[in-house]
Amino acid sequence: MLANRGDNDPGLVGAHLVEHGHELTLAIREESESWPDVRNFDLVVHLGSEWSVYAEDVRDPIRRERDLACRTVDAGIPVLGICFGAQLLAAALGGSVARGPRTELGWLPIEPCDDALEPGPWFQWHGDVFEPPSDARVLAVSDVGCQAFALGSALALQFHPEVTPDIVGRWAATDPVPLEQAGLDAATLVAITSAEQARVRPATARLVDEFLYGDVPTRGTR
């Protein structure tokens, strides 16, 4: 799993993978010199980040992560991108990323394009949006932009299926400005996240299982 230093909790996604016998290995974005060889893994997960894919101050680590994503997909290894990870996959595989018209923050529904994904609500916290690659299969949208696509061995999710109350609480504490701008209260958002766990935990498990063992994504198109 690729993540930033200090923000590397895979939450419900990681817990489900461990329950099914997977051993998780963490690779820190800021320490690319120590990344293990991707060929030794049967799944790569790019977690979210406060970074923007187009940010100049982190251009070099983002370029290295994009290159790794391309190599992983070309090798046919399953790749799951979440929020920033989805945006990075879009940019790496031929799409684009830009600032969105507004921030999507909170528990919000998505509009599935077929039966591959559930409508949610899913947790959102992002200001950037992505245009998927032209040859990707779009799986879900919202009025702000694409919410999910599949291409080759990659699945990109703009929303956060992994979140727990602890994760949302940490994000709210370290980055309170978007909450204030959205008129949201951190304690209320954490309470809603707690209430959603009974529903979202099995929904996340189904999503991960469909990705790894079912029909999401459509493989072999890249």
For residue 120, report the phi and psi dihedrals to the nearest 5 degrees: 90, -150
User: Which amino acid does the sequence have at 147?
Assistant: Q
Burial degree of 42 (CB within 10 A; 0-12, 13-18, 19+): exposed
User: Which amino acid does the sequence have at 43?
Assistant: L
DSSP secondary structure code for residue 28 in this structure: E
Among residues 46, 83, 118, 126, the one annotated as catalytic is 83
Query: Which of 158-179 are b and which e, b meaning 16 or more Cβ less than 10 Å from the residue's Cβ?
Result: bbbbbbbbebbbebbeeeeeeb
Among residues 65, 118, 162, 196, the one annotated as catalytic is 162
Q: Label each residue of 40-54 as H, E or C.
A: HCCCEEECCCCCCCC
Distance CA 61, CA 72 (A): 16
Distance CA 108, CA 101 (A): 16
Give catalytic status of residue 83 as yes or no.
yes
Distance CA 81, CA 128 (A): 14
Catalytic residues: 83, 160, 162
